[in-house]
Structure formats: structure tokens, C-alpha cells
């Protein structure tokens, strides 16, 4: 039995799609499962033992090569969990292609007419729908998984003395500006945590990319002894190792939030322009979400924007550091 | 002749409002106010040149539409103000 999964990006979506591997392996233990992924996000799947072959592409030429490969290999099932023009290019002449309902119309009605979904479906469950179309039974509950290389884990634990440190992981970045809680607020929050007697913890700031590095530098600037800025210094494996031993993860709506979900961490997520309807809450763990419910302009988009279209950015500005700090106290003392 | 121009203008206004609701490009809703104002002027001219009941209804519906445009506008990225769209649709029906 040969099975192919198509999900190219991004990190969060890939992690949310990974539980389909468990379902498929349970249903077809002797199957060969291949996965097509974009090079930028391949790290999220590299260590997954359930994948036999990871087909990585960088550009159009790489995609063309993979297309030839797919047409040569006779796949019994192809699960299109991305469903865009590139995946239809790959599967144009293939049989047994199963995809899921992206809820495009419902999403349009929600963003433009603020008409709420009839039913909120977690993203992983939406991916399971593709498997159900192929007659495969899917579980009601699932767990996100991410394999950390043992050596990397040990090395990271030793490097930051993670076993003997009580710490909170902060992930201040996100793919879009409107999904980021203001860095000034993060800085104030760090100050509050470091001076507090009840929740006093060390803080590790995580993230990747130049913008995140600038934010990390800004947040940790005042409290260098208690706040360690690791933005841009760790790869995904090392980031996962740091997240694994954290007491709490405070994050925006981003990929590493789902990475923390893989290790059953307590998660405090701050959601700005996006809402629960899109299915990206960290459903599989103990989580709390902070969001501004009373705004009529939310959600202004389903993936984020470069700036607030109303210019007030109240979806994030109304969530003060005091509110977040109070939640952190509640979650750590629970 | 002015009725046809008014109707064309109103249909353009409706199209722009729909485009604005879907794509939320502010220019499309800003541009509709002068279009309605031009319709009011044309309707005024039509009413003054030959006083009639239809001319009066046309002018009053357009004035109502202009008032609605001022007070019932759809704020960007919020739910559309259906009252304004209803008045716009009604005005078009009258002019058809």
C-alpha cells in the first residue's frame, strides 16, 4: 500500500496535519507513506518516523520533478491536505485523490459579513475528513507529535540547564503583524514576571527570523539576567527541546504554539485579528486564549495582515499586560 | 433621459458598494457619495423642469439615500449596514 500526503506549508498546518500519519499507520501498518513539503518547512517533518520518504521542493522545477515521480509511482491513496493550484498541478492525472473542505464560502461570509460558522471544527479534524472520504475511520481525539533528536535534546537541556530551571517560554513572533501582541506589552509582561514573588520564573524568548530577533532583543533589553533572548539562535529541534520543559508557553497565534501543543504544555495564546472559527486554537492540550471579543471588525482576515486596516489595532491593544499577567498567575498556580 | 442616467448611476453605486463589502477597498465606498449627489442634482433638474409625482418620488428617494449614505455607512471590516443597502435597492426599484 502506497500513500502520499500533500501539505506544503506552513509549520503550524504541517504539525496539525501530522496526526493523519498515526491514523494511516494504524489502518495500514505495512503501508509506505510519502509526504510532499516545501523546503522551508521540511524541518517539521524530518524526524517523523512514520514518513518513509519526504519529497522536498524549493521551486517550480522541484515541483515538476515531484510530479513526474508521482505519475511513475502508483499511489493507492493521495491525500491533498493543502488544496491549492500547486497540489492540483501535482495530482491532475492521478486517481484516488482525496481532499478536505477548506470552508472557503463560510470563511468569506465570516470575514465579509461576520456570519459565524454553524460549527467550529479544529483544523486536524478537517484534515481527517479527507481520510473519512476514503473510508478510513478517524479517532475523536488526537495528539500532535513532534520527534526531537535525543542528542539535540540532551545538548539543549545541558546548555540551558533546563531540568533545574523553572521557566516560561515566550514566543512573540508570528507570520503577520496583526497576529503579534505588541512588543512593548511583552516587555512590560517580562518586567512583571521577573519582579513578581509568586510567579517568578526565568524567561526564554523563542522565535526565528530577523523581525523576531529585533523583538526578542527589545523585550529582553531591560532584564538580561532573568530573560534569555534565544530568537534566531536555535533551530526547530532545539526550540522544541526548550518548549518541552517549560512550565508555561505564552504565545501568539503561530507555528511554535502548535509545537508546544506536541509536548502537552500549558499554553496561553493571544489571538488578535483571527478567531476560533478558523480552527487553530490549541485544542489538544490545557490551553487558555486571550482575545478581544467585543470588536465588530474581528476577524478582518483569516491569516493576518501587515497592518491593522482600522488603524486602532484594538484586537491586540485592548489585551493589556496586566490581563496576561493575571492569566499567567492563574495558570501557574492551578 | 435624466432617469436613465440616474438609474445607471444608482446601479454603479450598488456595484461599488458590493465590491467594497467583498474587497473592503475604501475608495469604492467613498466614490459612491458624489455619484448619489449627482443623481440628486439630476433628479432635482428633472423635477423642476416638469413637476410630476414621479419626479417628486424620485427626488425624495434619492434624498433619503443620500441621508442614509451619510448616517448608515458600512464601517470598514464590520458587518455591512443592510438598512443602507435596502434603501439603495428600493431607490433602484423606484427608478426602474
pLDDT tens for B37-92 read 999 999 998 888 888 898 899 999 999 999 999 999 888 899 999 999 999 999 99
**How high is the pLDDT of residue B76?**
87
| pLDDT bracket for residue A333 (50, 70, 90) | confident
Diameter of chain A measured on Cα atoms:
64
- pLDDT of residue A223 exceeding 80, the answer is no
Does the beta-carbon distance from A310 to B77 stay under 8 Å? yes
**How high is the pLDDT of residue A329?**
95
d(CA A264, CA A89): 37
What percent of chain A is predicted at pLDDT more than 90? 89
The mean pLDDT of A138-155, rounded to a whole number, is 94
The mean pLDDT of A84-97, rounded to a whole number, is 92
Cβ contacts (< 8 Å) between A114 and chain B: which residues?
Answer: 78-79
Cα-based distances in Å from A247 to A126, A325, A332 = 30, 14, 7
What number of residues does chain B have? 96
The mean pLDDT of A55-69, rounded to a whole number, is 94
**Nearest Cβ partner for A300 among B21, B77, B80:** B77
Cβ contacts (< 8 Å) between B81 and chain A: which residues?
Answer: none
Does the beta-carbon distance from A114 to B24 stay under 8 Å? no
Look at the alpha carbons of A291, A294, A297, A298 in this order and tell me if their dihedral is positive or negative: positive
Q: With H, G, I as helix, E, B as strand and everything else as coil, classify residue A36.
A: strand
- H or E element that contains A133: helix A123-133
Domain A2-133 CATH assignment equals 3.40.50.2000: yes
Cα-based distances in Å from A301 to A53, A109, A241, A325 = 35, 11, 32, 28
**How high is the pLDDT of residue A225?**
81
CA A69 to chain CA centroid, nearest Å: 29
Query: Is B19:B73 a contact under the CB 8 Å cutoff?
Result: no
- pLDDT of residue A77 exceeding 90, the answer is yes
A21 closest CA partner among A5, A39, A2, A43? A5
d(CA A315, CA A290): 10
SS3 percent helix, strand, coil of chain A, rounded to 5, is 40, 15, 45
DSSP state of B71: H
Does the beta-carbon distance from B79 to A113 stay under 8 Å? yes
Compute the radius of gyration of chain B from its Cα atoms: 13
What percent of chain A is predicted at pLDDT more than 70? 100
**How high is the pLDDT of residue A20?**
97
pLDDT, one tens digit per residue, over A150-168 is 999 999 999 999 999 999 9
A86 closest CA partner among A33, A133, A46, A38? A38
The mean pLDDT of A123-131, rounded to a whole number, is 96
**How high is the pLDDT of residue A288?**
95
d(CA A271, CA A254): 10
d(CA A50, CA A57): 20
**How high is the pLDDT of residue A220?**
87
**How high is the pLDDT of residue A34?**
97
**How high is the pLDDT of residue A198?**
87
**How high is the pLDDT of residue B50?**
81
- pLDDT of residue B2 exceeding 90, the answer is no
Of A111-120, A132-141, B1-10, the one with minimum mean pLDDT is B1-10
Beta bridge partners, A267, equal: A249, A287
Contacts of A319 (CB under 8 A, 6+ apart): A181, A185, A270, A290, A291, A292
CATH of domain A150-333: 3.40.50.2000
Q: Specify the pTM.
A: 0.90
**How high is the pLDDT of residue A266?**
95
Residues of A with CB under 8 A from a CB of B: 112-114, 296-297, 300, 309-310
Query: Is B57:B43 a contact under the CB 8 Å cutoff?
Result: no
Average pLDDT of chain A? Answer: 94
| pLDDT bracket for residue A300 (50, 70, 90) | very high
- pLDDT of residue A210 exceeding 80, the answer is no
Cα atoms in the Cβ-side hemisphere of radius 13 Å centred on A42: 14
Q: How many CB atoms lie within 10 A of CB A51?
A: 18
Q: How many CB atoms lie within 10 A of CB A93?
A: 8
pLDDT, one tens digit per residue, over A255-299 is 999 999 999 999 999 999 999 999 999 987 889 999 999 999 999
**How high is the pLDDT of residue A191?**
93
Fold agreement between A2-133 and A150-333: yes
- pLDDT of residue A234 exceeding 80, the answer is yes
Cα atoms in the Cβ-side hemisphere of radius 13 Å centred on A177: 7
Domain residue ranges in chain A: 2-133, 150-333
Amino acid at each position: 500500500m502506497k500513500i502520499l500526503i500533500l501539505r506544503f506549508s506552513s509549520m503550524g498546518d504541517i504539525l496539525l496535519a501530522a496526526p493523519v500519519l498515526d491514523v494511516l499507520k494504524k489502518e495500514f501498518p505495512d503501508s509506505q507513506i510519502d509526504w510532499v513539503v516545501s523546503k522551508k518547512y521540511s524541518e517539521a517533518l524530518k524526524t517523523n518516523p512514520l514518513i518513509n520518504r519526504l519529497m522536498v521542493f524549493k521551486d517550480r522545477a522541484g515541483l515538476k520533478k515531484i510530479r513526474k515521480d508521482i505519475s511513475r509511482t502508483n499511489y493507492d491513496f493521495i491525500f491533498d491536505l493543502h488544496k491549492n493550484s500547486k497540489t492540483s498541478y501535482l495530482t491532475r492525472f492521478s486517481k484516488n485523490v482525496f481532499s478536505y473542505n477548506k470552508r472557503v464560502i463560510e470563511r468569506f461570509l465570516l470575514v465579509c459579513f461576520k456570519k459565524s460558522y454553524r460549527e467550529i471544527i479544529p483544523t486536524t479534524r478537517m484534515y481527517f475528513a479527507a481520510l473519512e472520504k476514503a473510508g478510513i475511520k478517524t479517532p475523536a481525539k488526537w495528539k500532535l507529535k513532534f520527534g526531537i533528536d535525543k542528542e539535540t535534546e540532551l545538548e539543549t537541556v545541558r546548555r540551558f540547564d533546563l531540568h533545574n530551571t523553572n521557566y516560561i517560554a515566550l514566543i512573540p513572533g508570528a507570520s503577520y503583524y496583526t497576529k503579534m501582541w505588541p512588543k512593548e506589552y511583552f516587555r512590560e509582561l517580562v518586567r512583571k514576571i521577573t519582579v513578581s514573588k509568586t510567579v517568578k520564573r526565568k524567561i526564554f524568548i523563542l522565535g526565528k527570523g530577523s523581525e523576531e530577533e529585533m523583538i526578542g532583543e527589545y523585550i529582553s533589553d531591560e532584564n538580561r539576567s532573568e530573560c534569555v533572548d534565544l530568537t534566531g539562535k536555535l533551530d526547530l529541534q532545539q526550540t522544541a527541546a526548550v518548549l518541552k520543559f517549560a512550565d508555561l508557553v505564552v504565545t501568539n497565534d503561530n507555528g511554535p504554539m502548535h509545537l508546544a501543543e506536541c509536548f502537552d504544555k500549558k499554553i496561553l495564546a493571544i489571538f488578535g485579528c483571527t478567531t476560533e472559527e478558523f480552527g487553530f486554537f490549541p485544542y489538544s492540550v490545557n490551553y487558555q486564549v486571550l482575545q478581544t471579543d467585543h470588536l465588530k471588525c474581528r476577524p478582518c482576515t483569516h491569516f493576518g495582515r501587515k497592518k491593522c486596516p482600522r488603524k486602532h489595532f484594538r484586537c491586540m491593544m485592548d489585551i493589556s499586560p496586566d490581563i496576561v499577567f493575571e492569566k499567567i498567575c492563574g495558570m501557574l498556580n492551578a | 433621459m435624466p432617469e436613465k442616467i440616474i438609474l445607471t448611476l444608482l446601479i454603479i453605486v450598488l456595484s461599488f458598494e458590493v465590491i467594497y463589502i467583498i474587497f473592503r477597498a475604501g475608495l469604492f465606498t467613498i466614490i459612491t457619495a458624489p455619484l448619489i449627489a449627482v443623481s440628486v442634482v439630476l433628479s432635482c433638474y428633472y423635477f423642476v423642469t416638469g413637476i410630476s409625482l414621479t419626479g417628486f418620488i424620485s427626488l425624495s428617494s434619492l434624498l433619503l439615500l443620500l441621508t442614509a449614505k451619510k448616517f448608515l455607512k458600512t464601517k470598514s471590516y464590520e458587518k455591512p449596514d443592510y438598512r443602507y443597502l435596502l434603501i439603495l435597492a428600493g431607490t433602484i426599484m423606484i427608478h426602474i
